[in-house]
Amino acid sequence: MNTISVEKQVIEVVKAAKASTRRLVQLSTEQKNAALEAIAQAIETQADAIIAANALDVKDAQAKGLSKALVDRLTLNEQRIQGMVASVRAVIQLPDPVGEVLRTIERPNGLSIHKVRVPLGVIGIIYESRPNVTCDCAALCLKSGNAVVLRGGSESFRSNQAIHQVIQSALANTDVPQAAVTLVPVKERAGVDCMLGLVGLIDIIIPRGGESLIRKISADSKIPVIKHAKGVCHTYVDSDADLAMAKSIAVNAKCQRPGVCNAMETLLVHQDIAKAYLLELAEALKAFNVEIRGCDRTQAILADAKAATEADWDTEYLDMILAIRIVDSLESAVDHIQQYGSGHSEAIINQKQSTAQAFLRDVDAAAVYVNASTRFTDGYEFGLGAEMGISTDRLHARGPVALEELTTYKYIVYGTGQIKE
């Protein structure tokens, strides 16, 4: 297919998605939930068709010699289908953010002004090989009254088409227009490029995937992007920390699931307690085969530690590797985090409240913790329900991108004939 016909096709379906927003703002919570339940049921009853389409994608991926990890992310089985269904039903249980009155202002001239939450409009999702994203994102966007334009990785093309088709069949008997869940119908990379230029038709782009995808989308998009850049998360163990607590938290932050964005990548340790703490910690990390890369002072304490290079301080390992630096003070710890951190999640372990307050105030990140593992930064753990990801941006949404973050607001003004003097 040539680029012109790709563009034509993409624009056509996105226009339909945009048009569907006119209907979406009129729907009640009950109407949206009924559509979500229809989707959940359709996925359950048509699981075989989805798994069959997915098997073809998996076969191709294996034939192309794609990595085991990628093939695993791509693969759908009965259990993962059940996971998709459960996710949709979890979204039904979440409160509807639309219509929430954020602020009411009564003016001396009698105007009554209400700042009310409304859907964002059309949300474009660009993702990699996990086909469940198709369904998870559709559910979150529908619940928040948005239309969604989905564009998954080419290796999951047939899986996404199958899931999309099941959703379409479900929506046919509901009040939600089918175009509210739109899948970009072309496999070509030009489909993404076209999406990123549709200012006025797509209101926001959310890329979901690895660092390079996100960097490329952010650089190319003409539409605002909410992005998760990366998670270089720090834990700082202060001089008066409870060292047993600090050990338990550091082991958890590093080892409980190292491949995720809220796992710790660098540990900062106050010099006064460095020796006692690091010797104990290193012992505990051995059980998880954690490779340690330390600064000079760390190496002087931990003979097995490799030397950390400048590059280590801003690397998101997503692996059983930990960078360790010994610092002179809270200020040095904050300086390090401000220089190398990615604005995701940062923790201090200490017992003195005034120091903790300075850390919480001075560290600039989506989530700052005192005496807890950074692994808690996600929508579910924060009590916000399911989410699209964690934003490391500062505008519109920061931290978990849950239902509320998929909305905007408008001012509704009730008058009785007021005119401006």
Which of 67, 287, 339, 383 contacts its own copies by CB under 8 A?
A: 383
For 23, phi then psi, to 5°, come to -80, -35
| Per-residue tokens: 194 | 């076209």
Residue type at 279 in one-letter notation = L
**Binding-site member from 87, 169, 248, 332 for its own copies (CB under 8 A):** 248
Assigned token pair, 54: 């997915």
Binding part of the chain for its own copies, among 164-172, 180-188, 249-257, 272-280 by CB under 8 A, reads: 249-257
Give yes or no for residue 372 binding its own copies (CB under 8 A).
yes
Told to check if 300 binds its own copies by CB under 8 A, we report no
Q: Using CB under 8 A, which of the segments 59-67, 179-187, 302-310, 366-374 binds its own copies?
A: 366-374
Among 1, 111, 276, 279, binds its own copies (CB under 8 A): 111
1 binds its own copies (CB under 8 A): no
206 DSSP β-pair partners? 125
Closest to its own copies by CB, 58 or 363: 363
Q: Which residues contact 85 (CB under 8 A, 6 or more apart)?
A: 40, 43, 44
CB of 371 to its own copies, least distance (A): 4
If one asks whether residue 80 binds its own copies (CB under 8 A), the answer comes out as no
Polymer length of the chain: 421
Q: Is 408 in the site for its own copies (CB under 8 A)?
A: yes
Q: Going by DSSP bridges, is the β-strand pair 291-294/306-307 parallel, antiparallel, or unpaired?
A: parallel
Write out the binding residues for its own copies, residues 112-171 only, by CB under 8 A.
Answer: 113, 118, 120-121
The pair of three-digit structure tokens given for residue 33, joined into one six-digit string: 């939930």
The distance of Cα 301 from the centroid of its chain, to the nearest Å, equals 38
Stretch that binds its own copies, among 65-73, 178-186, 300-308, 404-412 (CB under 8 A): 404-412
Q: If you ran DSSP here, which 8-state letter would residue 406 be given?
A: G
- Subset of residues 87 to 106 that bind its own copies, contact rule: CB under 8 A: 105
Kindly provide the residue ranges of all beta strands, DSSP E only, lying in 77-187, ordered along the sequence: 101-106, 112-119, 122-127, 147-151, 181-183
C-alpha–C-alpha distance, residues 33 and 166, integer Å:
17
Q: Which residue has the tokens 């720090």?
A: 234
- Nearest approach in angstroms of CB 26 to its own copies is 7
Closest by Cα among 327, 251, 263 to 290: 251
Contact 180, 171 (CB under 8 A): yes
The residue ranges that bind its own copies (CB under 8 A) are 21-22, 25-26, 105, 107, 111, 113, 118, 120-121, 203-204, 224, 242, 245, 248-249, 251-253, 256-257, 338, 360-362, 364-373, 375-377, 381-383, 393-396, 398-399, 408-420
